[in-house]
């Protein structure tokens, strides 16, 4: 399975549920600034889950929760690590 970018398109409070994310064909330009999730870089299995990512791992759920708490792209430490969750700019 590969990874792809997915954009959040769900209700407030639904950010931890992978069914509210839809694949996008470009890297998002949002990065951080608000506690609202913009995009996630997640595992993709179109034959099983269609245009949504596979159910989120515990680590990705932690990153999403951290975005909501800090308004910063995750993971934030170390600073040079690839980011898997972006938030909308403030």
Per cent of the chain over pLDDT 90 is 89
Taking the alpha carbons of 68, 36, 21, 40 in that order, is the dihedral positive or negative? negative
Q: What is the pLDDT of residues 7-49, one digit of tens each?
A: 999 998 999 999 999 999 999 999 999 999 999 999 999 999 9
Q: Quick one: pLDDT band at residue 90, thresholds 50, 70, 90?
A: confident
Tell me the backbone φ, ψ of residue 85, rounded to 5 degrees.
-135, 130
Widest pairwise Cα distance in the chain: 36
Q: How confident is the model at residue 1 (pLDDT cuts 50, 70, 90)?
A: confident
Q: Is 8 exposed, middle or buried (0-12, 13-18, 19+ CB in 10 A)?
A: buried
Task: Give residue limits of the domains in the chain.
Answer: 2-87
């Amino acid at each position: 399975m590969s990874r792809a970018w997915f954009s959040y398109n769900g209700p407030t409070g639904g950010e931890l549920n992978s069914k509210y994310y839809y694949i996008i064909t470009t890297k998002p330009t949002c990065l951080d600034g608000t506690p609202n999730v913009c995009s996630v870089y997640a595992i993709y299995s179109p034959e099983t889950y269609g245009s949504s990512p596979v159910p989120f791992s515990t680590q990705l759920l932690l990153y999403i929760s951290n975005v909501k708490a800090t308004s910063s792209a995750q993971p934030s430490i170390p600073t040079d690590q690839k980011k898997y969750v972006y938030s909308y700019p403030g």
